[in-house]
Every structure is written in C-alpha cells, then in structure tokens.
Amino acid sequence: MALLESKLPRVGTTIFTRMSALAAECNALNLSQGFPDFDAPAPLLDAMARHVMAGHNQYAPMAGVLPLREQIVAQAALHMGINCDPDSEITVVPGATEGIFCAVMASVNPGDEVIVFDPCYDSYEPSIELAGGRAVHIPLTEHTFAIDWERVESAITSRTRLIIVNSPHNPSGSTLSHADLFCRALKNSRFSFTPSAGTYFQLLDYSAIVDTPDTRLAEDWTRQYGLASIPVSVFYQTPPAQCYLRFCFAKSDDVLLEAADILCTI
C-alpha cells in the first residue's frame, strides 16, 4: 500500500513535543511547554464534576452553550472593554489552535495573503497553507518585539486577506499597549531580557554567554543543567541576530526559584 503524501511535508514533530520529551528523558525542569504545573482551582473542578454528573455531557450547540457564551461576553466587557453579541459574535472552540485553524479556513481563499509577525506561533502558517494562502512574514522590532506599522503598510496588497495579531504575543509575551518572581530572581544572571508584559512566557537573550545556535543550546542545557526551554528561532522565517530561549513561568514558586538558581550559575 502506498503511503499518503502529506499536504504539509515541511511540518514535522513540533519543537514543543521534542523538548518536552527531552525534558522527561533527562528528568529536567520543564519550562519549555506552556502548561502550568499546579492544579486548577478546586471550585472549578467541583463545578465541572457537578455538571457532568447532572447530565451536561452531551453534544453542545455548534456555537457553544448560550450561558457559556454569555459569560464570555461578560468577561470581554469587564476585562477588555469589548462589547460582543453572544449569538452572532461568539463561538466556543476546543482550543486556541483549533480556533485559529477554523478562523483561517473560513476566511482565507486560494491565492490570499495573510500577514503574520515573527516570531509567530507555529500553527499559523500550516493553517494558511492548507487554506491555499501564503503567509507574509514581518519581523517584530528587536528587543521590544513591537509591530513596525510602516512595514505592515508596505506589505499590504490587494491579496491581503488577514493580519493575525495576538496580544499578549506568543511567544515573546509583548503586548500592544510584568513578569512576576522569575525576572526578579534572574537579576544577577548574565542573561538580558525585557520583562514579559503578558502571557506566562519569558524570553532570555543569552548572546553575552555563548554563541551556540538556540536549537542546539536548548537541548544541551536540558541535558547539562536539567532545565528545558524552547528555542525561539523556530518561530521565525528568518531568525534574528539575537539569541533567545523561551521559558514558561506558569509554574510553582519553588520550581521557578530552582530554575532561576540554575540560570544564574550559567
């Protein structure tokens, strides 16, 4: 039987899967992938169990159950000052990557262009390609990871269908408008960094320490120091001169302080 040819032959195992597997193999502190190492709040777990036991476990409406959509509208109004209609402007999706895929597939036609900002989340371009479009990469400014709107203006053509903006930005943590404990604990390290303005990721510039490529260094330090991170060059079409590793700080204080101690010795 002939093997099916992939529609995305350039997309292999993601860096997240590779680094988390390496962290497990080396019994390393895993600050690579963006998942918390602490439990969800007990009242939330209790509520989920209560609703499942009450029979709320069947197929939901395609857009999501109305009470949930109404709560999303309320949260958007409270925290972002955005007014939405729960019936016509809110759709519940099973995850961010799936939501991005649905939005791109519903909006992009063959031949369309979609502007993305490097370093960009690695599901953007595969979704765009599957829709028959082309990703137009614009690098964010060095160090601050801000958008150069003049470059955006010059990149817009008659074929531009979407501009994908996420704020706080993944993977850099910048916003379009402070990171916690972890940055304070790194003040005596040799890394340079701008504290993340959002998300739970922090980029550290190691160019003053070594000149090893970040993809190799992330693996080396996982094995040598027992600390896993994500190389940022994998999020770029054309990587910058800066040398960054990304660390997730959605971890317990003990884990973050242990990680910071390791980084301060490097």
| In a shared domain, residues 212 and 154 | no
**pLDDT, tens digit, 9 for 90 and up, residues 38-77:** 888 999 999 999 999 998 888 889 999 999 999 999 999 9
How many CB atoms are closer than 10 A to CB 34? 16
pLDDT at residue 100 in the model: 93
Residue 228, token pair as written in the block: 């896993």
How many CB atoms are closer than 10 A to CB 47? 11
Residue 106, token pair as written in the block: 């519903």
| In a shared domain, residues 190 and 143 | no
Residue with tokens 């959002």: 198
pLDDT at residue 225 greater than cutoff 90: yes
Domain count for the chain, please give it: 2
Say how many residues make up the chain: 266
How many CB atoms are closer than 10 A to CB 2? 4
From residue 83, how far is each of 80, 93, 162, 165 by CA, in Å? 9, 19, 22, 19
| In a shared domain, residues 149 and 101 | yes
pLDDT at residue 30 greater than cutoff 80: yes
Range from 16-20, 112-116, 255-259 that averages highest in pLDDT: 112-116
| In a shared domain, residues 138 and 196 | no
| In a shared domain, residues 150 and 119 | yes
- 251 inside domain: yes
CA-based nearest residue to 13, from 2, 3, 22, 1: 22
Cis preceding-peptide flag for 67 (omega within 30 of 0): no
CB contact at 8 A, 175 and 123:
no
| In a shared domain, residues 144 and 198 | no
216: CATH: 3.90.1150.10
pLDDT at residue 82 in the model: 86
Reading phi first (left if > 0) and then psi (alpha if -120 to 50, else beta), residue 230 is in beta
pLDDT at residue 42 in the model: 95
pLDDT over 70, % of the chain? 98
pLDDT at residue 128 in the model: 97
pLDDT at residue 178 in the model: 45
Using CA atoms, how far apart are residues 39 and 76, in angstroms rounded to an integer?
Answer: 25
- 239 inside domain: yes
Mean pLDDT value across the chain: 90
pLDDT at residue 197 greater than cutoff 80: no
- pLDDT band with cut points at 50, 70 and 90 for residue 1: low
Residue 166, token pair as written in the block: 């996420």
Using CA atoms, how far apart are residues 55 and 28, in angstroms rounded to an integer?
Answer: 41
pLDDT at residue 233 greater than cutoff 60: yes
| In a shared domain, residues 185 and 232 | yes
Cα 94 versus chain centre, distance: 16
- 215 inside domain: yes
Of 163, 195, 222, the residue that ends a domain is 163
Of 115, 132, 163, the residue that ends a domain is 163
Q: Is 95 exposed, middle or buried (0-12, 13-18, 19+ CB in 10 A)?
A: exposed
pTM: 0.70
Domain, as residue range, for 190: 15-34+178-265
| In a shared domain, residues 208 and 236 | yes
pLDDT over 90, % of the chain? 59
Using CA atoms, how far apart are residues 14 and 228, in angstroms rounded to an integer?
Answer: 15
- 198 inside domain: yes
